[in-house]
Amino acid sequence: MFKGIMEWVDERLPVTELIKSQATEYPTPKNLNYWWNFGSLALFVLIIQLVTGIFLAMHYKPDAALAFDSVEHIMRDVNWGWLLRYLHANGATAFFVMIYIHILRGMYYGSHRKPREILWWFGVIIFFALMGTAFMGYVLPWGQMSYWGAAVITNLVSALPVVGQDLVVWVWGGFAVGDPTLNRFFALHFLLPFVVFGLVILHMWALHAVHSNNPDGIDLEEKDTIPFHPYFTIKDLYGVGVFLIVFCAFVFYNPNFFLEPDNYIQADPMKTPAHIVPEWYFLPFYAVLRSIDFLGTMSKLVGVIAMGAAIAILFILPFLDRSPVRSFRYRPISRALFWIFVVDCFVLGWVGYNPADATVFGGMPIIYVGRTATAIYFSYFALLWLVTALKVEKPQPVPKSL
């Protein structure tokens, strides 16, 4: 019966063929390690966000006078509403954990190198869209941090020369963050995840055109690949299981771990919180923004450009790396630079978390740490290019096949 139907469909639309070639029999490197699980995990979290988001939207009210109460209504009165909201709020955090690991994996094993540049670019665009989505989502509960975070970040638009002032009014829909801002952020927060979903399809298309990289970073022969099913279906499912244990432990036992207490106070435009902090996943970039404070009136604009560049530089990463070898497994200098870069990102995050005028290590303004860490951040890309373009690094011997 089922076979009969499938035959009928296949004659008109080759579904079986697609599933075979792109999923079940899709050739996959047999040496992939667990760092390769984070792509499927990111997709899994995207689905969690889409599903919980739609149900939240059925009860949420995008109105400055009602938004905060409607979130509490979800938490208290809607059946399983607390679960929806905690899944969604922690889902945003999980998404960034997955994405950051996924990106760093790519940087370490050279997954962005020829012929995977377009695949990588779609990834960077997804990352940008995700940041926009999360930023606007965080505004929706309309707590103090929602409001003031939105105020600080949208204000950056005003740094743009000539049009900045008018543009920020246009973005706000008024002369300050307010009801119109909340309303449009809700519309965009609803839309963008579906744009992300479309981008993910393009990302997968590009992946399937060139196939996965692998920890050795070498081009594999047919004998070194195995069919996706059952090997990677089961491995990815196992990954989902482990992920869910950790994720649910947060959702059920410590759901406010990543949320700011201030966001349980309703937004009050007359009362600035003592210390405005963005969500943890923006902190490194926030630190880059604030570390440019020595250029007088130009500081803000240059800060914004630096912040954007800190991510956009990923676009040209495939061309900065000139080494004949992809994987850092065989590249000692690049590997050292990479780990310095990772530690540096954590330092930037810590700087971003602290107030701009904080002092550390007995009196040193934290801004010095921020500037140094920002310089190190960008140096990674410059040094990676220098070390490989000038052939300073001598790669270790690479296996021809597995």
The reply to whether 236 belongs to the active site is yes
Question: What does the alpha-carbon distance between residue 258 and residue 238 come to, in Å, rounded to a whole number?
Answer: 26
Q: Does the protein bind another protein through residue 255 (CB under 8 A)?
A: yes
Angle between helices 332-353 and 283-291 (to 10 degrees): 80
The reply to whether 275 belongs to the active site is no
The reply to whether 279 belongs to the active site is yes
Residue with tokens 């244990």: 245
Q: Does the protein bind another protein through residue 338 (CB under 8 A)?
A: no
Cβ 96 vs Cβ 247: under 8 Å = no
Cβ 323 vs Cβ 395: under 8 Å = yes
Give which of 46, 44, 23, 35 is closest to 232, Cα–Cα. 23
Q: Which of 235, 275, 293, 379 is catalytic?
A: 235
Q: Which does 133 bind (CB under 5 to 8 A by kind): ligand HEM, another protein, none?
A: ligand HEM
The half-sphere exposure of 386 on its side-chain side, counting CA atoms within 13 A, is 7
- Interaction with ligand HEM in 253-292: which residues (CB under 6 A)? 259
The DSSP H or E segment spanning 227 is: strand 225-227
The half-sphere exposure of 112 on its side-chain side, counting CA atoms within 13 A, is 24
> Nearest 10 degrees: CA dihedral of 350, 356, 362, 363?
160
* Shortest distance in whole angstroms from residue 337 CB to ligand HEM: 30
Q: Does the protein bind another protein through residue 270 (CB under 8 A)?
A: no
Q: Which does 57 bind (CB under 5 to 8 A by kind): another protein, ligand HEM, none?
A: ligand HEM
Q: Is the peptide bond before 255 cis (omega within 30 degrees of 0)?
A: no
* Shortest distance in whole angstroms from residue 187 CB to ligand HEM: 10
69 vs 143, 261, 288, 337, CA distance in Å? 10, 16, 35, 48
Using CB under 6 A, pick the residue from 53, 81, 215, 318 that binds ligand HEM.
53
Whichever of 30 and 322 has its CB closer to another protein, that residue is 30
* Shortest distance in whole angstroms from residue 235 CB to another protein: 6
Q: What does the per-residue mask of binding to ligand HEM show for 70-109, with x meaning CB under 6 A? A: -x-------------x--xx--x--x--------------
Using CB under 6 A, pick the residue from 193, 278, 370, 395 that binds ligand HEM.
193
Neighbours of 228 (CB within 10 A): 18
Using CB under 6 A, pick the residue from 87, 134, 267, 288 that binds ligand HEM.
134
Q: What is the 3-state secondary structure (H, E, C) of 330-377?
A: HCHHHHHHHHHHHHHHHHHHHHHHCCCCCEECCCEEHHHHHHHHHHHH
The reply to whether 235 belongs to the active site is yes
Residues in touch with ligand HEM (CB under 6 A): 46, 49-50, 53-54, 56-57, 60, 71, 85, 88-89, 92, 95, 130, 133-134, 137-138, 140-141, 189-190, 193, 196, 259
**Residues forming the active site:** 208, 212, 235-236, 279
Binding site for another protein (CB under 8 A): 30-31, 72, 75-76, 82-83, 86, 226, 230-231, 234-235, 237-238, 241-242, 244-246, 248-257, 261-262, 264-265, 274-275, 339, 402
